[in-house]
A = this chain, B = another copy of it.
Amino acid sequence: MDKIERYSFVVEPFHVDFTGRLFMGVLGNHLLNAAGSHSHSRGWGIDQLNEAHYTWVLSRLSIELAEMPAQYERVEVETWVESVMKLFTERNFLIRNADDGRIYGYARSIWAMIDVATRQPANLLTLKDGDILKYVLTADEKPCPIDKFNARVRLAEPHAVEVPTHYSDVDINGHINSIKYIEHILDLFPRQQFEQHRVQRLDIAYKAESYYGDTLTLYHEAAAGNPAEQLVEIRKHVGSSDKPVGETVVQATIVWE
């Protein structure tokens, strides 16, 4: 079987922002669908793994774009596995226009496999007798010309915005869904920011789960010495707890062009 999965979509009218470009969160959702399709076709899908009591957990996601697809454009995503370590695997993405082939950009992600019952990570090199290694395409074989995950989030005097979580934030596991964090982060910025700049790169690290009803506090500030880079840390407060500092669930950096 081909090591690369190809996944296509059309940029739908309700999936573009007021500049006519695809929402970053919707792009993220398509990347996760492409990943799911790649895994499933090769016997490593969540539905197949669930029977064996394992599931994939997204740990890091980096997206870097020269251009964001526009309304009605047809997009093709390629995804492949760049490496497999004991506890993590690196999965990359290429995002191109399906008609003229121009490349919008690339993405990188890091995943762990956990045992659903014990929440302990599984050894990817021994699971299914190392079957996953059959699908590796090294960086030499299939380059992914963007930097690896890169988020140094150390906040000095951040702004803080409280965001309650609701029904629409929650996935089938009762967790706040990975994509919704991206939406909440971009919702920190005013209209002018999107009129004058576009997101060139997003790095997001998923550190812990949050749940329906948790209150999230989004701390954010510009990086020291680089106002075009924004640092974000999301902490959770269980229920209506007014404990000022909660557990960190997400760290992210955004580079504006």
The contact size tier of chain A is 35 or more
Tell which of A17, A47, A183 has the most Cβ of chain B within 10 Å: A17
Instruction: Please tell me which stretch of A76-84, A105-113, A172-180, A202-210 contacts chain B, meaning at least 4 of its Cβ atoms lie within 8 angstroms of it.
Output: A172-180
Number of copies: 2
In the complex, how many angstroms separate the beta carbon of A215 from the nearest chain B beta carbon?
14
Q: Which residues of A contact B (CB under 8 A)?
A: 12-14, 16-20, 23, 25, 29, 32-33, 36, 46-47, 71-72, 166-168, 170-174, 177-179, 183, 186-187, 189-191, 194, 212-213
What are the 4 tightest A-B residue pairs by CB atom distance, in nearest-first order? A166-B187, A168-B183, A18-B170, A18-B174
Bound CA span A14–B180, Å: 10
In the complex, how many angstroms separate the beta carbon of A95 from the nearest chain B beta carbon?
18
27 of the cross-chain contacts (CB-CB < 8 Å) are A12-B29, A12-B33, A13-B33, A13-B171, A14-B29, A14-B171, A14-B177, A14-B178, A14-B179, A16-B172, A17-B167, A17-B170, A17-B172, A18-B170, A18-B172, A18-B173, A18-B174, A25-B168, A166-B186, A166-B187, A167-B186, A167-B189, A167-B194, A168-B183, A168-B186, A191-B212, A191-B213
Q: Which residues of B contact A166 (CB under 8 A)?
A: 186-187
Q: Which of B36, B71, B191 contacts A172 (CB 8 A)?
A: B71
Contact yes or no, A172 B29, CB < 8 A:
no
Q: Which residues of B contact A186 (CB under 8 A)?
A: 166-168
Q: Which residues of B contact A170 (CB under 8 A)?
A: 17-18
Question: Given the known A-B contacts A13-B36, A29-B14, A179-B14, are A168 and B187 also in contact in the complex, defined by CB atoms under 8 Å?
Answer: yes
In the complex, how many angstroms separate the beta carbon of A16 from the nearest chain B beta carbon?
5
